[in-house]
Amino acid sequence: MSKSDQTTMRQFAIMIGGLVVVAVILIVTALCIYNNEPKETDPTQPARVTERIAPAGAVYAGDTGRAAMQAAAEAATKAAASQVAYGGTTDGKEIYDHLCTSCHTGGIAGAPKLGDKAKWAPRLAEGIDTLVKHAIEGYHGPDGNFMPPKGGNPALTDEQVTNAVHWIVDQAK
């Protein structure tokens, strides 16, 4: 090897050594920063992971399986009822008391007041099916009155809305 080759090799080795030292310094710095950084804690994370990896179904066998299957069915029914407004009740008066009373007691947005026969007469002339349709789908009247779909509560079922309309109409007759 010539003297110039030896000089080039020495300079190349020094450069590689310097790069290794810089890389080690960067790695040590990154580890120090990472170890001193506060960790995010999400208390719901384990529950979300458990829910995400839970099996889609189950196998039930014998009397123990039957009991577990009945318990699962009851839990599913209770969960479904909790997602329907007012526990799934179909009592028109109860639905009125929870939701409809806010507008139909004070006449808000042109809503006819409960029991006001004069205001209800033209609506009743259109027929109960039209009233139910307007209550479910919503309605903008020509005189500026307004009925939001399902009274503004999308969790209501069509049956619940229908029963509430029938109860309100019965009060206006």
Indicate whether 61 belongs to any domain: no
Domain CATH for 145: 1.10.760.10
Least confident window among 19-33, 63-77, 88-102: 63-77
Cβ–Cβ contacts within 10 Å for residue 145, how many?
Answer: 17
Q: 20 and 94 share a domain?
A: no
Domain that holds residue 151: 89-172
In this prediction, residues 26-49 reach a mean pLDDT of 85
Q: 93 and 166 share a domain?
A: yes
What sign results for the dihedral spanned by CA atoms 155, 157, 161, 166?
negative
Which pLDDT tens digit goes with each residue over 80-131?
656 667 777 778 888 888 888 888 888 888 888 888 888 888 888 888 898 8
Closest CA to 164 of 127, 139, 131: 131
Q: How many domains does the chain have?
A: 2
